[in-house]
Structure 1
């Protein structure tokens, strides 16, 4: 959260509706910009700039708001990412004899958990399980606990391999935008309450 945010700024953001029209327009602008990018796989330089501009506007709207409360808990479906590992798996799932399906981020703030899930058709998955700690009004830290991959009949486990943080710079009713420790951007939509894919 910006250092220029004070208690009064936060209260004004919480109780005013003055940004509703701007919020809806910026959300629509972002959704339009990412629509034909295949979750980021085919984003052109011009679409990347349009996405960056829309994200910046939503980030400004989200400034001085708390985005790490209970509203963050959900199953979030991926719409767009710049995260190279996710895009690599989506692009190359065919090497595994599978077709990439939906991608989810499952956050449960109360239970301190974060699961990143890439599904494979018809019934496979790659799940990275992490602990989650709220450390600020927009920042959460995570630490990987392990991973599971299922490509056939049984899942197999992989060791944990990292930690980091992400800021939820914008949190709407159905749309969330996050930026992480590596400078990647994530755009996801609410897909329901937290659920298990195991």
Structure 2
């Protein structure tokens, strides 16, 4: 089976599960199997040594992270798109979750982190800043321009605070990477499948 076929199988398996929010046990098994098959054919065995492929804005297609999926459980709110934006030259990761609510209640939650390379597949992640608030109050148009806003030192009209924890043990390992698809696994056992936008 070619990598193109295996990739199509994975995308077909995750299409009906709404990023992992609505998933039966059989669907979960099929997704994990499709991920494992695709990881076997990883065309980029040393992702941290190919920053040109890692860098950019990635849309989350699937995850097992209950922390991310849990946002959908708040009353009156639905989880919109979730992005992970990597700025490799700066050693920065920006996670941005769009939240859809009642009219004028669209929100977002963003966590900013720095990372350091620890192996050819793994980076150590240190969370630095949390921003949560109304899309209109922070002037949110799209994820790309919002990352530029986050990179500036000004405080936003939102919940905006520094995360100061010395004991952070976060890491992210890229187990598959090509020009438009990335699979990652985190220190809490979470799986992430992302598509470049």
With the shorter chain as reference, the TM-score category is: 0.7 to 0.9
Q: Who is 1:155 aligned against?
A: 158
Q: Secondary structure at the match of 1:142?
A: strand
Q: CA RMSD in A?
A: 1.8
Q: Could you tell me the TM-score, scaled by structure 2's length?
A: 0.79
d(CA) in 2 for partners of 1:86, 1:73: 22
Q: Could you tell me the TM-score, scaled by structure 1's length?
A: 0.79
d(CA) in 2 for partners of 1:139, 1:61: 18
1:102 pairs with 67, 81, 88, which one?
81
When the two structures are aligned, how many residues end up with a matched partner? 168
**Please, which runs of 5 or more residues in structure 1 have no aligned partner?**
1-20, 192-198
Cα distance, 1:141 vs structure 2: 1.1
Q: Secondary structure at the match of 1:65?
A: coil
Q: Any residues of structure 2 matched to 1:1-198 within 5 Å, and which? A: 22-62=2-42, 65-68=45-48, 69-70=50-51, 71-89=53-71, 91-93=72-74, 95=75, 97-121=76-100, 123-151=106-134, 153=137, 154-160=157-163, 162-191=168-197
Runs of 4+ in 1 over 6 A off after TM superposition: none
**Please, which runs of 5 or more residues in structure 2 have no aligned partner?**
138-156
Cα distance, 1:49 vs structure 2: 0.7
Indicate how the Cα distance of structure 1 residues 179 and 49 shifts in structure 2: closer, same or farther if over 3 A, else same: same
